[in-house]
Amino acid sequence: MSWMKEHKLIVTSMIVFALCIGVLGVILVDMIDKKAVSSSETVAKEDNTIAASQQNTTKTETNNITENPFGSNKTNLSEEDILNYMHGMSHQKVVAEEKWLHYEMTNERIQFLISVVENDNYKNGELLLDILQRWAEGDFQRADKDHNKIWSLQGGNVGEATGVMTPEQEQQYLEENKGSIQ
| Domain chopping of the chain, boundaries | 2-63, 79-176
Check whether 128 has a pLDDT greater than 80: yes
Q: Name the amino acid, one letter, at 44.
A: A
Q: Residues of the chain with pLDDT > 70: what percent?
A: 64
Q: How far apart are CA 151 and CA 96, in angstroms?
A: 11
What per-residue confidence (pLDDT) applies to 29?
54
Say which residues have a Cβ less than 8 Å from residue 146's Cβ, sequence separation at least 6.
86, 90, 131, 134, 135
Contact 117, 82 (CB under 8 A): yes
pTM attached to this predicted model: 0.64
The residues facing 163 across adjacent strands are: 95
Among the ranges given (27-31, 80-84, 143-147, 173-177), the one the predictor scored with the smallest mean pLDDT: 27-31
Which helix (H) or strand (E) segment holds residue 96: the answer is strand 94-96
Top mean-pLDDT range of 51-55, 57-61, 161-165: 161-165
